[in-house]
């Protein structure tokens, strides 16, 4: 049997797969088993933050793998402690961190923190969490319910946990808060929901209102964090200080890792939460290497230079192909082109892979771009050249 047949026989069919078989990656270029190359504008859905085969990250992983890959969290783990310190320093927030393995797990941790806060701080229990329509917070039963897209709330997986509600806009949040509301959970740029950023002033007003009313602000930075929007956190870009922040995706450069950080450092006690694999030697060593690479790029101005270059190229496409796209959306290296309809997005994705380019789709008829932050100008140029060829072919 070939690879496609084996996959269909032995792997659960949860993904609508493309069966291009990639065997090697260098920077933001992937190579398949036939020797064809592809420019990667997706970076594993925002995961490969420093590209493929990054020498510094590879060296750090290999050296650590030769020492210790994993021990129990019942012992102290040096790179875990150092990574927590580095994240806190880069964020500028006075917080402490719990490490998990994914964004969904990080958001589960955030919801548990909020629930305990609501149980212990108030005379009447508070447990309700408000999220936004078009949001995405994970695939576990709880984070699916926290996701404000009805298409995810199918009867197949019901009943779902209660305590979650959704509003259409930030303005609608205020009227939805009651005396059982404990937290608001938002993405500052909705990734799966169409790469849609919220207005900065509107977010700042919300953050102040929640603070004044003892309601927690949880910011899901699973996709926006780790320099994806041009600063270490989108929260930094919006100049707010959340009560809880979640991270994952780009933090490990390809290794599974998630993190929930909070200013309520004493909210959890031993036994309240845990993870067998979370924050082990290998994943946190990778995280330290990723932050070293990207913080150096940020400090030198190289990151900003590449962001601007990519943005200019994308805007040129949006201006040139107004018959296909309504507008360009997003921030930093989290970008999208809003197409006229959903079928157009499907056609574009089919065409781009045939022209040696990998892009993504997102809600609200959006072609999504999440390149690595280390992508070169030559790779950007070649990628958009292929993108134009794909557009002209449909």
pLDDT at 122: 95
Q: Which tens digit of pLDDT belongs to each residue from 227-255?
A: 999 999 999 999 999 999 999 999 999 99
Sign of CA dihedral 150, 151, 155, 156: negative
Percent of the chain with pLDDT over 70: 100
Q: Is 16 in the same domain as 131?
A: no
End position of a domain, from candidates 299, 315, 343: 299
Task: Tell me whether residue 22 is in a domain.
Answer: yes
pTM: 0.96
Q: 299, 322, 344: which is the final residue of a domain?
A: 299
- The pLDDT of residue 193 is 87
- Is 255 found in the same domain as 122? yes
CA 372 distance to own-chain centroid = 13
- Tell whether 147 and 256 lie within a shared domain: yes
Residue where one domain finishes, among candidates 254, 282, 299: 299
Q: Mean pLDDT, to the nearest integer, of 147-171?
A: 95
How far apart CA 374 and CA 50 sit, in angstroms, is 5
Largest CA distance in the chain: 65
Range 10-35 average pLDDT: 96
Q: Is 51 left (phi over 0), alpha (psi -120 to 50) or beta?
A: left
Tokens describing residue 213: 């009313």
Let me know if residue 62 belongs to a domain. no
pLDDT at 44 over 90: yes
- CA Rg value for the chain: 21
CATH of the domain at 284: 3.40.640.10
Please give the mean pLDDT across all residues of the chain.
97
Q: Are residues 39 and 72 in the same domain?
A: no
- Give pLDDT, residue 256: 98
pLDDT at 258 over 90: yes
**167, 233: one domain:** yes
Q: What are the pLDDT digits (tens) for 279-309? A: 999 999 999 999 999 999 999 999 999 999 9
Give yes or no for residue 141 having a pLDDT over 90. Answer: yes
Distance CA 287, CA 277 (A): 14
Judgement on whether residues 48 and 83 belong to the same structural domain of the protein:
no
Q: Mean pLDDT throughout 107-114?
A: 98
Residue-wise pLDDT tens digits, 316-358:
999 999 999 999 999 999 999 999 999 999 999 999 999 999 9
Residues 345 and 311 in one domain: yes
Do residues 211 and 80 both lie within one domain?
A: yes
Domain assignment present for 60: no
Q: The CATH number of the domain where 310 resides is what?
A: 3.90.1150.10
At 364 the pLDDT is 84
102 and 175 share a domain?
Answer: yes
Domain holding 221, by residue range, is 68-299
User: Is residue 61 in some structural domain?
Assistant: no
Q: Supply 143's token pair.
A: 């984070």
Count of the separate structural domains present in the chain: 2
| Confidence band for 98, pLDDT divided at 50, 70 and 90 | very high
Are residue 274 and residue 322 in the same domain, yes or no? no
Using a 10 angstrom Cβ sphere, with 0-12 exposed, 13-18 middle and 19 or more buried, the burial of residue 146 is buried
């Amino acid at each position: 049997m070939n690879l496609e047949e084996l996959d269909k026989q032995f792997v659960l069919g949860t993904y609508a797969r493309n069966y291009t078989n990639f065997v090697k990656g260098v920077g933001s270029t992937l190579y398949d088993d036939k020797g064809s190359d592809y420019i990667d504008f997706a970076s594993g859905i925002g995961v490969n933050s420093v590209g493929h085969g990054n020498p510094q990250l590879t060296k750090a992983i290999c050296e650590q793998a030769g020492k210790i890959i994993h021990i129990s969290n019942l012992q102290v783990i040096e790179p875990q402690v150092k990574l927590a310190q580095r994240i806190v320093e880069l964020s500028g927030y006075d917080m402490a961190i719990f490490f998990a393995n994914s964004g969904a797990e990080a958001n589960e941790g955030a919801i548990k923190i909020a629930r305990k806060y609501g149980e212990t701080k108030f005379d009447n229990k508070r447990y309700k969490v408000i999220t936004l329509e078009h949001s995405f917070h994970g695939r576990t039963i709880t984070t699916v319910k926290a996701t404000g897209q009805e298409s995810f709330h199918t009867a197949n997986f019901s009943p779902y946990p209660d305590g979650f509600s959704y509003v259409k806009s930030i303005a609608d949040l205020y009227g939805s808060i009651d005396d059982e509301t404990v937290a608001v959970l938002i993405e500052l740029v909705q990734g799966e929901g169409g790469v849609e950023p919220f207005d900065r002033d509107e977010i700042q007003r919300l953050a102040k209102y929640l603070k004044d009313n003892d309601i927690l602000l949880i910011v899901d930075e699973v996709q926006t964090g780790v320099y994806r929007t041009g600063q270490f956190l989108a929260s930094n870009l919006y100049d707010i200080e959340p009560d809880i922040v979640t991270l994952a995706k780009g933090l490990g450069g390809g290794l599974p890792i998630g993190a929930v950080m909070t200013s309520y450092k004493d909210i959890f006690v031993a036994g309240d939460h845990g993870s067998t694999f979370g924050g082990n030697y290998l994943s946190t060593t990778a995280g330290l290497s990723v932050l070293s690479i990207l913080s150096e790029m940020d400090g030198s101005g190289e990151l900003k230079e590449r962001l601007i270059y990519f943005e200019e190229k994308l805007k040129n496409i949006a201006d040139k192909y107004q018959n296909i796209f309504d507008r360009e959306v997003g921030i930093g290296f989290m970008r999208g082109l809003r197409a006229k309809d959903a079928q157009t997005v499907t056609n574009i994705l089919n065409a781009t892979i045939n022209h040696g380019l990998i892009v993504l789709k997102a809600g609200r008829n959006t072609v999504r771009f999440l390149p690595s932050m280390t992508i070169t100008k030559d790779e950007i140029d070649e990628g958009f050249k292929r993108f134009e060829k794909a557009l002209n072919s449909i």
